[in-house]
Amino acid sequence: MKKLTLLVLLCPLFGNAQTATPNADSAKAVSTIKYYTKQIAQTPKDATAFFKRASAQRKLENNKAALEDYDAAIALNPKYEDALIERGLVKDALEDYKGAIADYTLAITNNPKRAISYYNRGLAKRHMDDDKAALLDFNTAIDLNPKDDDFFNERGITKKRLEDYDGAIADYTRSIALSPTAAGAYYNRGYAKSLQKKYAAAIEDYNQSIKITPNDPDGYYMRGNAKRNLDQYESAIEDYTQTLKLDPKYAEAYNSRGVTKYNLKDYKGEIEDVNKALEIDPKYDIAYYNRGLANDALNNYNESVDDYSQFIALSPKDPDGYFKRGTARINLEDYENSIPDLNKAIELDPKYTDAYFNRGLAKRYLEDFTGAIIDYNKAIELDPKDGDAFNSRGVAKHYAGDDKGACIDFKKAIDLGNKYAIENQTKFCK
């Protein structure tokens, strides 16, 4: 188990607004609030006046004030369908997803044929990570209104989350057919194709998304990721650079551009980019890890130990950090302190072949040949075609006094294509 580069860290999905209500000019919204405040003073039992003022408050993102007015409107008219739907939107914005679902459910009870209620309830359920239930609501919304591109786009996002990538792509395609200028559907379809490792096809969709919304940094970022996975490193760097021109605070773009420079063996360039990512987000765990890789490549093992330590502090359950720090310590000839790191990597991932191999190496340097052989045994058990493990076990057996066993291992390593075993066989097997 190795983590060499970051594939995709930030993969924003383009959703759509929960209702078709456009954002009103703030001055108009303020004026509307004043107008209906006077109306309420004159007719305090007018549910519509409370609803209209609530809608204006929501457009100004005054969600708590809006909630109070929706409450008043619904108290006056418990079956006020629009008020229930919009109160659900406010509760969703306030992260009261259960409350939002309750409101949409009441609206559905009052009118089971209104698609938007199911759609909004699906969004709230997805916000609670109840994707299967959300999918059922999106299905119903589409059955009631199969002409709404937003419905297909959001159902596609839900299918993507459920790892039904073919289903997601089909929904995004339907969304595009209904609204050919919907950049989000192209973007999301590209993302689903990337998850299927169909990077060339994904790039075509990102191209369309960028054509429609050329000032959106996410399209360039994701296209850069797809190009990097196709080893189109120079072109990927161009996309990350464009991302940063549009959004200089896009930490993930600095990190991914740095990873691409690593792929081009520009290790100093990677460190420069990752440093910028960390200036923006000092808790960006994978950036420390990637900087550690670059420092390893430059033989700056002291610095890489520090980087992996930062990564471990932020991601203590990831075995790769311990493995890489333990390996850097081996390169610093600190064999004793490398072993606890490799122990931890194996504790977190008992099938971590490379960790057994490197722990065997550290034990061999500490002249614990029996312990080294045990670790190489495990590495071979996990990967019986690893010539390096047979060769290294042969060396450990030689120093443990088992030349017969060593020579058997060297022979096996040679059969598996390990060139170092040839020299060892010549040297130790007479």
pLDDT at 32: 94
Range in 20-29, 134-143, 349-358, 371-380 the model is least confident about = 20-29
**DSSP letters of 244-310?**
HHH-TT-HHHHHHHHHHHHHTT-HHHHHHHHHHHHHH-TT-HHHHHHHHHHHHHTT-HHHHHHHHHH
Question: Over the chain, what is the mean pLDDT?
Answer: 94
Q: Identify the residue whose tokens are 């050329």.
A: 214
Residue pLDDT, tens place only, 211-237? 999 999 999 999 999 999 999 999 999
pLDDT at 271: 98
Q: At what angle do helices 47-59 and 81-93 cross, to 10 degrees?
A: 30
Tell me the HSE value of 197 on the side-chain side, using a 13 A CA sphere.
2
pLDDT at 7: 30
Give 25's pLDDT tier (boundaries 50, 70, 90): confident
Q: Is the pTM of this model over 0.85?
A: yes
- Long-range Cβ contacts of 316-321 (<8 Å, 24+ apart): 317/348, 318/3, 318/348, 319/1, 319/344, 319/345, 319/346, 319/347, 319/348, 319/349, 319/352, 319/355, 320/1, 320/2, 320/3, 320/289, 320/345, 321/289
Q: What percent of the chain has pLDDT over 90?
A: 93
The answer on pLDDT for 14 being more than 70 is: no
pLDDT at 430: 77
